[in-house]
Amino acid sequence: MKLWGGRFRKEENKLMEDFNSSLHVDKRLYAEDITGSIAHVNMLVQCSLLTPKEGEDIVQSLISIREDIENGTLPIEGNYEDIHSFVESNLTHRIGDTAKKLHTARSRNDQVAVDIRLYAKNKALEVVEYIEELQSSLEKKARENNVIMPGYTHLQRAQVVTFQHHLLAYYNMLKRDRQRVLNAIDIMDESPLGCGALAGTTHQINREMTAKELGFKKPVDNFLDGVSDRDYLLELMSSFSILMMHLSRLSEELILWSSQEFRFVTIDDAYSTGSSIMPQKKNPDAAELIRGKTGRVYGSLTSLLTTMKGLPLAYNKDMQEDKEPFFEALDTVQSSLQIMSKMIATMKVNSENMKKAVKEGFLNATEVADYLVSKGVAFRDAHSIVGSIVIYCEDHQKAIEELSLAELKQQSPFIEDDIYEFIEYRNILNKGIKVGLLK
Ligand code: ARG
């Protein structure tokens, strides 16, 4: 059963065999493994390294293996070292000796590298689609909710903004996240097939042909590099980590906003859970899990960075440890994006509570200072005058706009009747936030 048994006098130790096997993890790559092999065989035929009949037999059998895996008649299990051994053993079982020619001019080192690149590329494109879905959920919510809300710094009420502007901040973060994933795909879009184990092959093969058939821009420029780097997985996981950091911040806000302290949004029942003891509880678990799972994605990135950092060129078996963290990060990002889209699309926005919150907390204090500047007061002086207006308001339990003109004039003779219009919240918004809004 071993692809490499010839040189060995003894059986592999059973513990070692289990320790070495990656089938339970890399079985995900079966389709890419078969696609890569088909391209390889087609090229071998074109380069007269296989006869057309041999090529046809192998390709047809590879296709039937893929079909059987997909219709459930060929489960990927058993005592195989990895997905490559599994596919090749099954091929031999089906067509006998011809199958033994499949691995001509190829190593598992370039084979696995091409499998992962194909898989990562396709899955990263799915991530791009999920990002776009979340962007449209945010855009739609933003469009429907151009309502006034407090903006915060240090989680203290700061200046007035709109819920639309706030949601669109995340829309813009996601726009860059999407571009980062696309950039990573662009950089990794080269085929390692034909690098062999590390030094190419003495056979006259055609790497351009396989690169083209597999949809890569070109073959890689250096064989040692092609089989021994996983920077493309690291780059994707870095983009995923940044993306998760954004989703985690949004989650944190949803958790705060849905609390009794804020009541700015209501998360739909479908994305919440309850408590086994406290009957009244409705917890924002989906958002908490996204925030929590962000740690896993960072962990996956750190794990592979650490695996790679001390490896001499070229391939080392350590690199088999690339798949688990990558799959983990990928799955987490995909499910988090989907859940977040649904949570945003279904949440209710409690605009009245946002409006109420705007009225408490002196969110127009900066604009009172701006008003004074417009009357000729230096900004630093204006800042200090408004500071004492705020103290006065706190002592008298009033908002600035609730003070009478006489009270305001006591603080500064420059204040006139036109101040009320100047510091009205909607007017502030219309004058202040000029970008980042939906048309
Ligand atoms: N399962 C291996 C991996 O994922 C495939 C490559 C094995 N290469 C080798 N020389 N043993 O990295």
pLDDT tens for 206-228 read 999 999 999 999 999 999 999 99
Give pLDDT, residue 364. 94
Give pLDDT, residue 3. 84
Q: Which of 438 and 339 is assigned the larger pLDDT? A: 339
State the average pLDDT over residues 361-378: 95
Q: Which of 2-11, 39-48, 151-160, 284-293 has the lowest mean pLDDT?
A: 2-11
- Please list every protein residue whose CB sits less than 6 Å from any atom of ligand 1: 22, 26, 82, 108-109, 112, 315, 317, 319-320
Residues 6+ apart with CB under 8 A from 288: 251, 255
**49 CA distance to ligand 1 middle (Å):** 24
435 pLDDT exceeds 90? no
Q: In the structure, what pLDDT confidence band is assigned to residue 1 with cuts at 50, 70 and 90?
A: low
Among 7, 76, 109, 318, which is best to mutate for testing ligand 1, by the most ligand atoms less than 8 A from CB? 109
Give pLDDT, residue 298. 98
Contact of 297 with 240, CB cutoff 8 Å: yes
Contact of 289 with 248, CB cutoff 8 Å: no
How many Å apart are CA 140 and CA 131, to the nearest integer? 14
Q: What is the DSSP letter of 217?
A: S
- For residue 159, what are the β-bridge partners? 151
Give pLDDT, residue 6. 86
DSSP string, 29-46: GHHHHHHHHHHHHHHHHH
Give pLDDT, residue 307. 98
Percent of the chain's residues with pLDDT above 70: 100
Summarised one tens digit per residue, pLDDT across range 311-367 is 999 999 999 999 999 999 999 999 999 999 999 999 999 999 999 999 999 999 999
**211 CA distance to ligand 1 middle (Å):** 21
From the options 1.20.1250.20, 3.40.50.300, 1.10.10.10, 1.10.275.10, give the CATH code of 5-101.
Answer: 1.10.275.10
Burial class (CB in 10 A: 0-12, 13-18, 19+), 2: middle
User: Do 5-101 and 108-146+162-192+221-352 have matching folds?
Assistant: no
The active-site residue out of 24, 203, 259, 275 is 275
Contact of 345 with 140, CB cutoff 8 Å: yes
State the average pLDDT over residues 106-132: 98
Catalytic (active site) residue 275: yes
From the options 3.40.50.2300, 1.20.200.10, 1.10.3720.10, 3.40.50.300, give the CATH code of 108-146+162-192+221-352.
Answer: 1.20.200.10
Q: Classify domain 365-423 by CATH number.
A: 1.10.40.30
Q: What is the DSSP letter of 182?
A: H
292 pLDDT exceeds 80? yes
Which of 197, 194, 187, 188 has its CA nearest to residue 209? 194
Contact of 86 with 75, CB cutoff 8 Å: no
Summarised one tens digit per residue, pLDDT across range 4-48 is 888 898 898 889 999 999 999 999 999 999 999 999 999 999 999
User: What's the one-letter identity of residue 303?
Assistant: S
Which of 286, 214, 211 has its CA nearest to residue 255? 286
How crowded is residue 306: how many other Cβ atoms within 10 Å of its Cβ? 11
* Domain spans, the chain: 5-101, 108-146+162-192+221-352, 365-423
